Amino acid sequence: MPDTRIIKKYPNRRLYDTEESRYITLASIRELVMQGIDFRVLDTNSGEDLTRSILLQIMLEEESGGEPLFSAPMLAQIIRYYGGTMQGMFARYLEESLTLFTRQQERMPPPLGGDAMKAMTDLARQNIRIWTEMQSSFLKAAGFPPPGKDKE
């Protein structure tokens, strides 16, 4: 298992990469994310893990420039889950969905190889099956009957 890279955040807001022994920017941390490098950002005074906060800052910068990933209605829907009884389940659902999406992207054939339409059709069928299974699992965990079955 690779070591987790430690980034220190100083009170002056500067970020210091302990592996490279140099100050870095949020753009540098974004690059670590893009490269799949595991890291943690720690506050030098308190030792608090600031990784989530830094990642949210990067997302805010990405959302502010260029074409946003999240629409306003989508963000509003996400906000509605905070503090509710379904927050944990929703977070798990999003995480599982992103993991599934990433796996599917990795399995995608190169655009010029083979029958692209057949590959997309097969992938869509597989996704529908996986989504149905995942939805049933989440509904069961929440105490609801599986789709298509009534409680007796």
Task: Say whether both 54 and 98 belong to one domain.
Answer: no
Number of domains in the chain: 2
The answer to the question of residue 150 being in a domain is no
Which strand ranges, in their side-by-side order, compose the sheet holding 5-9?
Answer: 22-24, 15-17, 5-9, 39-43
Mean pLDDT of the chain: 85
Q: Domain ends where: 18, 43, 64?
A: 64
The HSE-up count of residue 6 (CA atoms within 13 Å, CB side) is 10
Mean pLDDT of 86-101: 86
pLDDT in tens, 27-49: 999 999 999 999 999 999 999 99
Tokens of 5: 């890279």
Task: Say whether both 77 and 59 belong to one domain.
Answer: no
The answer to the question of residue 151 being in a domain is no
Task: Say whether both 119 and 79 belong to one domain.
Answer: yes
Mean pLDDT of 55-72: 91
Task: Say whether both 33 and 56 belong to one domain.
Answer: yes
The answer to the question of residue 20 being in a domain is yes
C-alpha span between 96 and 66 (Å, rounded) = 27
Give the domain extent around 35.
Answer: 5-64
Q: Domain ends where: 64, 83, 98?
A: 64
Res. 1 pLDDT band, cuts 50 70 90: very low
Task: Say whether both 56 and 82 belong to one domain.
Answer: no
Burial call 82-94: b when 16+ CB within 10 Å, e when fewer: eeeeeeeebeebe
Mean pLDDT of 93-115: 75
Cβ of 113: how many Cβ atoms within 10 Å? Answer: 8
C-alpha span between 49 and 57 (Å, rounded) = 14
Three-class SS state of 12: coil
Mean pLDDT of 4-27: 95
Tokens of 12: 């002056």
Task: Say whether both 82 and 42 belong to one domain.
Answer: no
Q: What's the pLDDT score for residue 141?
A: 76
pLDDT higher at 33 or 103 = 33
Mean pLDDT of 94-107: 82
Task: Say whether both 120 and 85 belong to one domain.
Answer: yes
Q: What's the pLDDT score for residue 34?
A: 94
Helix-helix angle 51-64:26-34, to 10 degrees: 100
Candidates 148, 137, 150; CA nearest to 89 is: 137
Q: What is the DSSP letter of 2?
A: P
Task: Say whether both 77 and 94 belong to one domain.
Answer: yes
